[in-house]
Structures are given as C-alpha cells and as structure tokens.
C-alpha cells in the first residue's frame, strides 16, 4: 500500500467518523439508552470491519483490541446486571492493557518533560477524583470484592494508558505517536463522561461520551492502519539517539540520509502534542 493510498483511506475514515457521530447524536436525542447502546455496538463493528477491509499488513495488537471493544459493547447491553457490568470492565481492562503493552517497548528511554507531567497530572487527577466519588455510590452495584478490584484496575489502566501515550509522543515526536495520544484521550474522556451521564444524569455527557468514544475508536483504527510507517519512526529515533543535539535543537533528516524528505518531515515536524496545541493557537 503506497502512501497516497493510505492518505485516501484516512480521508474516507474521517467521512465514516463524521457520519457515525451524526447517527449516534440523532439516536441519543430521539431514543432511549437501550437504542443508544445498540448504535454504539453497530458503530464499533463498522470500524472493526473498516480496519479489516483496509489493513494491508495486519496489526495483531490492534486487531485484538478491536475484538475486545466489540465484546465490551456487547456486554454494555447488560450493564445493569452484575455479570454484564463485570464483563464490560474486564474487556475494557484487556483492551487498554494490550494498548499499553504494545507501546511499552517504545518507552525504554523515557524522559519526563514539564508538559508531559502537567497533562498527565491533570488527567490522572480528574480520573482519581471520579473514582473516589463513585466508589461509595456504586457499592451496591458490585457483587463481590473481585468486582471492586476490576473496577479500580480499569481506572488505573486508563491513567497508565494516558501517561504512556503522552510519554511516547514526547520521546518520538511523530505523527503516529500523536495519533496514539488522541486515541488515549478519546477513550479517557469517554469513560469519565459516561460515568457522569449515567450515574449523575448529566444529559449533555451522553453526547460527549459518544463523540469522544468514536473519535478514540477512529484514532485506534488510524493507528493500526499506519503500521506501515512504524519502521520510519524507529529509524528516526535511532538517528536522533546517535546525533549530537541539545534539548532545544530540532533534528531535520536530509533527503540523502533518509530518502524520504518532503514525504514525512513536514508532517512529523508538528507531530508532538505541544506543537499541535501551539499551531492551533497561532
């Protein structure tokens, strides 16, 4: 699959995302929570099928993650039952755990920046606060001590996945790492807003939950399909490790060195979360 074809696939994916967001918003507006859950399941299955259709080199990690996402959305149909709620949490733990494991080898040279620390602390604080206020409210919902352990494990993995994503982006500063940041944030926002929507009856959070979930799912598919350029990311990192640069320098790889200047360098130049936010402000 050449690069131009990959870009076309991503453009079609954006169209699919927009249509699914519109469909989900309409269903949430005019129907009940049961129908909303079914349309979420259908959306997840469609993204799964999209991934299988356009994946030229199968990313096994993302394939398994998407399988667990589908199983989780099947479980959510029975969310009010202890077994259904337990299954929902377990499949979420497995999906987030695999995403973390898939990225861990990239973090062997982790260096914590102020931006990484700030974003991580904000997200972790929000999640910790949510878990704290919910645990007493949901005590009746847990059938056993194991249920509570799985609930906290789910919350902990959300935090770890977000920290892993931001650290990965800080180390590699690539477009692919930025995609991973967006998928992690999408799922984190989705999980937090879903709790406020369901348990605190904040109606607008139903919309925020679904939109952020679909965005996170779309970026997961994007991440899985971009496996073709993973070796480029690793090559750039290897060159950066061997080059003599200081903390304020930016490494630009010459065309004679990489044979691909102009195809990726401009895209990767603004690929960190910090430069993305800075570009948006300017």
pLDDT tens per residue across span 255-278: 333 444 344 444 444 455 555 555
pLDDT tens sequence across 187-212: 999 998 998 898 888 999 999 999 99
Name the E strands within 212-264: none
Q: What pLDDT is attached to residue 55?
A: 84
Residue 252 scores a pLDDT above 50: no
Q: Among 177, 160, 157, 161, which residue's Cα sits nearest to residue 169?
A: 177
Integer angstrom CA distances of residue 120 from 37, 113, 214, 217: 30, 11, 22, 21
Helix then strand then coil, in percent of the chain rounded to 5, is 85, 0, 15
Length of the chain: 282
pLDDT (tens digit per residue) in 127-178:
677 677 776 666 656 667 788 788 888 988 988 898 888 888 878 888 888 8
Confidence category of residue 91, pLDDT binned at 50, 70, 90: very high
What is the mean pLDDT of the segment spanning 16-29?
96
Please report where in the chains the tokens 């910090």 appear, as a residue. Answer: 274
pLDDT, position 247: 44
- Pair of tokens at residue 22: 């519109």
Instruction: Say whether pLDDT at 41 is over 80.
Output: yes
Task: Say whether pLDDT at 60 is over 70.
Answer: yes
């Amino acid at each position: 699959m050449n690069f131009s074809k990959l870009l076309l696939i991503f453009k079609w994916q954006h169209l699919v995302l927009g249509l699914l967001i519109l469909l989900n918003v309409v269903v949430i507006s005019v129907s009940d929570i049961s129908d909303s859950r079914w349309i979420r399941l259908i959306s997840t299955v469609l993204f799964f099928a999209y991934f299988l259709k356009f994946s030229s080199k199968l990313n096994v990690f993302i394939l398994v993650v998407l399988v667990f996402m589908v199983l989780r959305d099947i479980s959510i149909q029975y969310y009010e039952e202890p077994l259904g709620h337990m299954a929902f949490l377990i499949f979420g733990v497995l999906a987030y755990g695999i995403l973390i494991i898939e990225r861990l080898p990239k973090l062997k040279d982790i260096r914590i920046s102020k931006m990484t620390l700030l974003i991580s602390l904000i997200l972790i604080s929000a999640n910790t606060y949510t878990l704290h206020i919910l645990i007493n409210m949901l005590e009746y919902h847990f059938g056993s001590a194991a249920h509570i352990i799985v609930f906290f494990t789910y919350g902990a993995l959300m935090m770890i996945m977000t920290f892993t994503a931001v650290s990965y982006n800080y180390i590699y500063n690539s477009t692919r790492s930025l995609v991973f940041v967006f998928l992690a944030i999408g799922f984190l926002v989705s999980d937090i807003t879903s709790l406020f929507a369901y348990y605190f009856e904040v109606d607008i959070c139903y919309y925020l939950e679904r939109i952020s979930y679909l965005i996170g799912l779309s970026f997961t598919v994007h991440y899985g399909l971009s496996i073709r350029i993973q070796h480029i990311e690793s090559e750039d990192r290897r060159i950066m490790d061997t080059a003599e640069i200081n903390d304020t320098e930016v490494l630009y790889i010459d065309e004679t060195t990489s044979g691909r200047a102009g195809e990726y360098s401009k895209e990767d130049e603004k690929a960190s979360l910090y430069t993305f936010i800075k570009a948006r402000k300017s």
